[in-house]
Amino acid sequence: MRNNAIDGFRAISIILVTFFHLGRAFGAPGADNAEFALGNLFGNGWVGVGMFFVISGFCMGASTQGKFSGGFQKTTYLRYVLNRFLRIAPAYYVSMIFWYLIITKYNVVFKPVAEFDLLTHIFFVHNFFNDTMYSVSGVYWTLAAEMQFYLLLPILFSLLSSLSKQIMTLGATFVLALSIAILSNDVVLIFGLPAYLCLFIAGVLSYFHRESIYKTLSKYGLIWIVVAFMVTLIFSPYGVYQNRARVFEIIISCLFVISLAYASVKERYSNRKNIIYIVMAFIGRCSFSIYLYNYVMLALPVEYSGVMNFLILFTATLATGILAHFIIEKPFEKLRKVLMRTRTVAASGSI
């Protein structure tokens, strides 16, 4: 059963990312604002990517803890990898075809896309090379990092078996992320998995300790302080975090996943639902496809010239992703579940 709170947090992430892309593509007012203002959503919306990473870690903690907490098994690992591949790859590959046609056939976006670009994207290694990092679509680099995290996570479970190991592992990955941010200007390092591993692990550990987080925040009423601090950071002046962007991203993503842990537990005890809650959960369920087609705004014959045009671009971007969710992602997801169920039955019969 899906947790609507998690889907709601996905919606927050994709809305922030879409705001950021709109700001960059069309120079929307507030994208470079120097004051505390609503327009800073355009400038600071990039933190939505870090939010997605902690959500991914949180959900992977939920789905893998029982599988690998007792140790690494080759058969279980291969089945797990296949399951994750089938969840991401089909809809991703279809979107690649879409963007390839847009770029090469209709010249909507002017960027070179050669065979090497396509091959690296197919195998989720395009974030290993500067030339392919942002080719085909500028959002795909995160999917490479995501898939690489999936491959690594079962191996990392040996480093997360006790609280002391968890603290040491999380601390080490934080130091690694900050070291890369301080010492390197290489895009491959700055936006590679090593720089973001701390956020994935923060998500996993937030799932492990979600009950304790909920009890602590509920007992002392700290949840509103956490949320207020996070919102303050999001609406703070864009550019003030120059040279400290990774610190900002880590802080806000950790506040976000702490709030997520609280909300995911509270979801079990609350039956109150309102229209905003329902709409946000729906957008969250469609967020993967919205993300895949997030740059569709560049192919629309609309320029940013005010609030109305922004609403048109924003709505069209979300609508495209929602449509893709129902006609592409959802059918593939149903097929994945059938295939994995069939493999489970076959495996059980062979024992």
Calculate what percentage of the chain has a pLDDT beyond 70: 87
The C-alpha atoms of residue 118 and residue 94 are separated, in whole angstroms, by: 12
**Average pLDDT over every residue of 10-31:** 82
**Average pLDDT over every residue of 50-78:** 89
Q: Which of 140-144, 195-199, 241-245, 268-272 has the lowest mean pLDDT?
A: 241-245
Closest CA to 196 of 139, 265, 148: 148
Q: Which residues contact 55 (CB under 8 A, 6 or more apart)?
A: 6, 9, 10, 13, 203, 257, 260
Q: What is the pLDDT of residue 38?
A: 55
pLDDT at 348 over 60: no
How many domains does one find in the chain?
1
Query: pLDDT tens digits for 80-126?
Result: 999 999 999 999 999 999 988 887 776 666 566 888 999 999 999 99
- Cβ atoms within 10 Å of 116's Cβ, excluding its own: 13
What is the DSSP secondary structure assignment for residue 294, as one 8-state letter? Answer: G
Q: In the predicted model, what is the mean pLDDT of the chain?
A: 87
Q: What is the pLDDT of residue 33?
A: 47
**Average pLDDT over every residue of 291-300:** 86
- Cβ atoms within 10 Å of 210's Cβ, excluding its own: 21
Helix axes 141-156, 193-208, angle to 10 degrees: 50
Q: Which domain holds residue 294?
A: 4-350
- Cβ atoms within 10 Å of 132's Cβ, excluding its own: 23
Closest CA to 178 of 258, 243, 253, 257: 243
**Taking the alpha carbons of 50, 190, 108, 311 in that order, is the dihedral positive or negative?**
positive
Q: What is the pLDDT of residue 68?
A: 80
Q: What is the pLDDT of residue 36?
A: 44
The C-alpha atoms of residue 319 and residue 283 are separated, in whole angstroms, by: 10
pLDDT at 351 over 50: no
Residue holding tokens 């919606």? 11
CB 146 within 8 A of CB 211: no
Q: What is the pLDDT of residue 103?
A: 75
CB 133 within 8 A of CB 141: yes
